[in-house]
Amino acid sequence: MVKLRVHNLAVSLDGFATGEGQTFEAPFGHAGGRLMEWFFPTQTFVSLSGGEAESPGAGTQGVDDALAAAAWKGVGAEIMGRGKFGPQHGPWADEAWRGWWGEEPPFHTPVVVLTHYERPDLTVGETTFLFRALPPEDALALAASVADGLDVRLGGGPTVVREFLHADLVDHLHVVVVPILLGRGVRLWDGLEGLDERFDIEVVASGSGVVHYLMTRKDRGL
Amino acid sequence: MVKLRVHNLAVSLDGFATGEGQTFEAPFGHAGGRLMEWFFPTQTFVSLSGGEAESPGAGTQGVDDALAAAAWKGVGAEIMGRGKFGPQHGPWADEAWRGWWGEEPPFHTPVVVLTHYERPDLTVGETTFLFRALPPEDALALAASVADGLDVRLGGGPTVVREFLHADLVDHLHVVVVPILLGRGVRLWDGLEGLDERFDIEVVASGSGVVHYLMTRKDRGL
């Protein structure tokens, strides 16, 4: 049975998953890189960003790395919000924008991009982006159908994750609480009163200062 | 030098330090006892609530207990908001209300109760409540003057703690994040963007599922 999994979703101590003012230059707005500083030193990130070619095995291998790496295990498709693909709003002015990731995006699977403005499928490297206007249930069905029997990763942003949590479609939720106070931006937890009752929750503090929350839906063993 | 310390301030994962709808029967509103469930099994709480007389040494002695106990070490006065003293608003209808704690409140020191409506000092057991309309700086000066050379504890609620954090008067802040989502109530962290830059932060996850954040102001060794 295909599971829907969220990994490495970082929020500030005051609950913001992105800062204010997303632009091409600042995908996390005024948060800058601060929500992901725990991730950058990991072997997982170094490898994803091509650093391994220069120095094989570089990067940390502690709990941050182990949990970060889990995001790429057994995943056959991703669902993401349009804001993760790019900072544009409204109808596409053109189709020149091919995502933040250059010519070899790190997904290597089909990616369903949720948007009110559909456009033709786009293949970049080993990743094919499918731009669809679909409610959560149908987006999950589409992603599952192209995931080759593997799980589906829900890649964010926070608004999209919240919608899927509201629809009770998320089986595994890995949230990383970073000890900073952003004060403004997009909150992850709004309107999710009682969510904890539907999940088993494991909590791990890392030496880096972040805290990992591993939430597994109670009616679904993982 | 007198320090101002906050201890055992529990917030939900979505940042609420009390729920909605505080009443005489429900001091934490719809949160009920859920924000303090980590505290009730500790030796510190059992002792405070009189359980020790029945079974000496009862209660847990893990990290939750050790950190909870620190709130009573070296403290000579407390400052609290009126909402911690009682659920009344506006002018006092009468002076019959003597707090939630019965005839021996657990403070055993002077307690400055911040209120727009002053009333005569009230002594209950070994605790004297001073009802004062003072801004944070003056409240701290008063509490320090009656603390017998010891520190001052800032006892909450969250609105009062936030005001003292805004005024940069807090030297030590111990926040306990409880893995529940309350959805509504009074937020602790609102409007405190960048607060983390003024504090050193130590993070400890407990087996009970809560996470302790120990924040020490950078320019004040504790």
Q: Write out pLDDT tens, residues A30-68.
A: 999 999 999 999 999 998 887 666 777 889 999 999 999
Q: Do A179 and B213 touch (CB under 8 A)?
A: yes
B200 is a domain residue? yes
A196-220 burial, b for 16+ CB within 10 Å, e for fewer? beebebebebbebbbbbbbbbbeee
Per-residue pLDDT averaged across B165-185, rounded? 97
- Identify the pLDDT of residue A1: 84
Q: In chain A, whose CA is at the least distance from the CA of B197?
A: A180
Question: Which range is least confidently modeled, A10-19, A129-138, A201-210, B52-61?
Answer: B52-61
Give chain B's domain count. 1
Q: What residues of B are in contact with residue A211 (Cβ under 8 Å)?
A: 177, 203, 205, 211
**Model pTM greater than 0.90?**
yes
B173 is a domain residue? yes
Q: Is B38 left (phi over 0), alpha (psi -120 to 50) or beta?
A: alpha
B176 is a domain residue? yes
Q: Do B189 and A15 touch (CB under 8 A)?
A: yes
B111 is a domain residue? no
Query: pLDDT digit string (tens) for A158-188?
Result: 999 999 999 999 999 999 999 999 999 999 9
Query: pLDDT digit string (tens) for A5-20?
Result: 999 999 999 999 999 9
Q: ipTM score here?
A: 0.90
Per-residue pLDDT averaged across B62-84, rounded? 96
Q: Do B14 and A189 touch (CB under 8 A)?
A: yes
Structural domain containing residue B202: 4-46+59-85+139-217
Pull the structure tokens for residue B148.
């017998």
B153 is a domain residue? yes
Pull the structure tokens for residue A53.
């070619």
Question: Which range is least confidently modeled, B33-42, B82-91, B127-136, B194-203?
Answer: B82-91
B67 is a domain residue? yes
Give the C-alpha separation, B68 to B209, whole Å: 15
Instruction: With residue A172 as reference, give the H or E element that holds it.
Output: strand A172-178
Q: Do B192 and A213 touch (CB under 8 A)?
A: no
Query: pLDDT digit string (tens) for B150-174?
Result: 999 999 999 999 999 999 999 999 9
Give the C-alpha separation, B207 to B38, whole Å: 10
